[in-house]
């Protein structure tokens, strides 16, 4: 057994065994972000704190309502199950999933509900490697039904990736476009919602981007929008 794998198991075991107290029990953006990072670390080693949904938790949330601590906008790809990726339990994360993790009116309203009404202090826009929706936008494939409208929502990110990286083609361009698409969705949230902008300005909310690698399962964190300060001051 490789040494790094053994060390990973030891680390995840310690995380799983530790009580959820102190900073991780608070609902600050930093504490919630660390909680998700810890969960992904557990997921990578196969040691879960949340193996199943028990009857008590289901009944409790039915009676008392939901109080998730993070809102996550993810892709509908079946290989990116949000609660599993972050090893989180029943009713602990408020999840919006749509192909290409794009932001439309319904998605924006859902994020506003999560942050504004449920009080989640963190919003994560979660993309993933080899995203089929972004790949279709990059390739310019002819699609039927409503899919062309979805492509229109992703094309600005593809155009930016091409503009910023004119030398890239194929998989390398796709990788940059996936990252640009995450940033684009984050920007759509801030541009489209005074509610979210106000909460970010006041420090009650943090919006970050992340990308999950399908093969390794590891989440790479992108942080906040590089141009966030300009958007908030505009």
pLDDT tens per residue, range 159-207: 999 999 999 999 999 999 999 999 999 999 999 999 999 999 999 999 9
**How many CB atoms lie under 10 A from the CB of residue 17?**
9
The runs of H, that is alpha helices, within 46-164 are: 55-64, 82-85, 105-112, 132-139, 147-164
- The answer to whether 137 and 149 have CB atoms below 8 angstroms apart is no
Query: What does pTM read for this prediction?
Result: 0.86
Beta strands (DSSP E) in 163-232 are 206-212, 219-223
Query: In which band, very low, low, confident or very high, does the pLDDT at 52 lie, cut at 50, 70 and 90?
Result: low
- The answer to whether 130 and 139 have CB atoms below 8 angstroms apart is no
- Six-digit token pair at 192? 């489209």
pLDDT, tens digit, 9 for 90 and up, residues 21-49: 344 457 899 999 999 999 999 999 988 87
Distance from C-alpha of 122 to C-alpha of 115, rounded to nearest angstrom: 8
Distance from C-alpha of 71 to C-alpha of 115, rounded to nearest angstrom: 7
Report helix angle 3-17 to 29-45, nearest 10. 130
What the chain holds in terms of domains, given with CATH numbers, is: 3-233 (3.40.1050.10)
pLDDT, tens digit, 9 for 90 and up, residues 85-143: 999 988 899 999 999 999 999 999 999 999 999 999 999 999 999 999 999 999 998 99
End-to-end CA distance of the chain: 54
């Amino acid at each position: 057994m490789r040494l790094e794998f053994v060390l990973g198991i030891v680390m995840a075991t310690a995380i799983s065994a530790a009580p959820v107290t102190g900073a991780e029990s608070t609902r600050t953006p930093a504490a919630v972000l660390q909680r998700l990072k810890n969960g992904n670390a557990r997921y990578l080693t196969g040691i879960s704190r949340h193996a199943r949904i028990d009857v008590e938790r289901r009944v409790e949330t039915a009676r008392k309502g939901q109080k998730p601590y993070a809102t996550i906008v993810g892709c509908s790809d079946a290989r990116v199950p949000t609660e599993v990726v972050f090893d989180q339990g029943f009713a602990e994360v408020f999840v919006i999933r749509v192909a290409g993790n794009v932001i439309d009116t319904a998605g924006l309203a859902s994020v506003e509900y999560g942050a504004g009404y449920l009080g989640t202090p963190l919003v994560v826009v979660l993309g993933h490697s080899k995203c089929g929706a972004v790949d279709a936008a990059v390739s310019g494939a002819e699609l039927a039904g409503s899919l062309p409208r979805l492509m229109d929502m992703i094309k600005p990110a593809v155009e930016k990736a091409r503009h910023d990286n004119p030398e890239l083609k194929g998989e390398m361009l796709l990788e940059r476009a996936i990252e640009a698409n995450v940033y684009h969705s984050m920007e759509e949230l801030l541009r489209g919602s005074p509610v979210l902008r106000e909460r970010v300005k006041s420090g009650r909310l943090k919006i970050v981007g992340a990308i999950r690698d399908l093969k390794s399962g590891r989440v790479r964190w992108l942080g906040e929008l590089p141009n966030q300060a300009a958007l908030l001051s505009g």
